[in-house]
């Protein structure tokens, strides 16, 4: 992955020079150490850094082996062996610490100046499914964001708080749980909606979410596409076991959704003056890593690192040393568990996001 490192370093240098060149009319008498004032995240387990630790939900990752490769080898609630793509993104943007989970004790005082994370594993665009998962719906995440704004104003002052809110980078990750944990397992949903119709419904919720976030001051919004759902170990084990590679039907559904998501983002830019919105394509980077793992330094792309001795793919509470082991070198695996990428794969995703999201910065 050396080429990705070089690209990242070159882009960061260009961005930093641009910031310095525009401060005070070209005289960089003062500068920020970060390229945006804060990073604020919404959505699901793709960006949840620990909010579910404080909820009565089965979707938790606050125990080993989750976090075994994170700082001090501590589980935090991140659904990975280490860092998430949003963590790598924050580091690339110059942050020395990560925005705290909003429900955690750390989400107070000056810690809120660098942003907050409202995401909840099991969440998504379909609020009915989210409630059954006992996760935080996007509507509630926005309510928490309103409270965050009030707290921020008390800490930084009204003027500076407004500046932070307007200039922050907003990241939204949702949709995977809607399909993998809800639609494909819910016969009534499948009867009521075709995958295309369900995608229309979900994208409609996405559009409403962006409009509300825009009304609250958000102007730089990056939303992740769906990953290749048919390449997830859980999907291949449960549904695509008869196919040698990824389960094509699920990948097709994901691509249909992603096309609709991109169209919606284009329309939102036309409707909302000053909005900068980018759909981060994470489908192709993950799909490429699965199809050509050695290109990225991976050895295993079909199974998750956290797999039982009987090759049963696991996630959340099932990813437990008592129920089986983990691989010896997680950096060689594209997937950490049956649904979520490994830290190494998250780095690949974050670098792709950086290339696609320059316009947001």
> For residue 263, what are its two tokens?
């169209």
- Is 73 one of the annotated active-site residues of the chain? no
Task: Give the active site residue among 48, 337, 338, 342.
Answer: 337
Q: Both ends of the chain: CA-CA distance in Å?
A: 24
Closest by CA position to 10, among listed 167, 39, 286, 2:
2
- Is 18 one of the annotated active-site residues of the chain? no
Task: Give the active site residue among 48, 120, 281, 340.
Answer: 340
Are the C-beta atoms of residues 258 and 281 closer than 8 Å to each other?
A: yes
Can you give the chain as a three-state secondary structure string? Answer: CHHHHHHHHHHHHHHHHHHHHHHHHHCCCCCCCCCCCCEEEEECCCCCCCHHHHCCCCCCCCCCCCCCCCHHHCCCCCCCCCCCHHHHHHHHCCCCCCCCECCCCCCCHHHHHHEEECCCCCCCCCHHHHHHCCCCCHHHHHHHHHHHHHHHHHHHCHHHHHHHHHHCEEEEECCHHHHHHHHHHCHHHHHHCCHHHHHHHHHHHHHHHHHHHHHCCCCEEEEECCCCHHHCHHHHHHCCCCCCCCCHHHHHHHHHHHHHHHHHHHHHHHHCCCCEEEEECCHHHHHHHHHCHHHHCCCEEEEECEECCCCCECCHHHCCHHHCCECCCHHHEEECCCCCECHHHHHHHHHHHHHHCHHHC
> For residue 240, what are its two tokens?
């695509």
- Is 69 one of the annotated active-site residues of the chain? no
Task: Give the active site residue among 45, 199, 330, 350.
Answer: 45
Residues involved in catalysis: 45, 337, 340
């Amino acid at each position: 992955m050396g080429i990705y490192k070089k690209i990242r370093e070159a882009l960061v240098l260009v961005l930093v020079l641009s910031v310095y060149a525009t401060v005070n009319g070209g005289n960089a008498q003062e500068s920020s150490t970060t390229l945006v004032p804060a990073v604020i995240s919404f959505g699901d387990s793709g960006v949840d850094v620990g909010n579910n630790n404080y909820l009565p939900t089965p979707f938790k990752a606050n125990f080993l082996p989750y976090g075994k490769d994170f700082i001090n080898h501590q589980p935090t609630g991140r659904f990975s062996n280490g860092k998430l793509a949003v963590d790598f993104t924050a580091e690339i943007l110059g942050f020395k610490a990560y925005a705290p989970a909003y429900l955690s004790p750390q989400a107070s005082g000056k810690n809120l100046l660098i942003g907050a994370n409202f995401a909840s594993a099991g969440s998504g665009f379909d609020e009915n499914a989210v409630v059954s998962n006992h996760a935080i719906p996007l509507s509630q995440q926005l309510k928490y964001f309103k409270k965050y704004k009030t707290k921020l104003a008390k800490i930084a002052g009204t003027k500076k708080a407004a500046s932070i809110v307007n200039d922050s980078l907003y990241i939204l990750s949702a949709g995977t749980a809607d399909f993998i944990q809800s639609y494909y397992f819910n016969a009534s949903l499948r009867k009521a909606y075709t995958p295309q119709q369900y995608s229309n419904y979900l994208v409609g919720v996405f559009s409403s979410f962006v409009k509300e976030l825009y009304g609250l001051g958000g102007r730089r919004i990056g939303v992740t596409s769906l990953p290749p759902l048919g390449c997830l170990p859980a999907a291949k084990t449960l549904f695509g076991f008869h196919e040698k590679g990824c389960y094509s039907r699920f990948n097709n559904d994901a691509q249909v959704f992603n096309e609709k998501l991109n169209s919606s983002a284009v329309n939102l830019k036309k409707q909302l003056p000053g909005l900068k919105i980018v759909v981060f394509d994470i489908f192709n980077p993950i799909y490429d890593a699965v199809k050509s793992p050695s290109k990225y330094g991976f050895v295993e792309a079909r199974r998750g690192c956290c797999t039982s001795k009987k090759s049963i793919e696991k996630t959340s509470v099932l990813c437990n040393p008592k129920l089986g082991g983990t691989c010896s070198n997680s950096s060689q695996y594209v997937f950490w568990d049956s649904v979520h990428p490994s830290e190494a794969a998250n780095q690949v995703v974050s670098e792709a996001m950086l290339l696609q999201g320059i316009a947001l910065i």
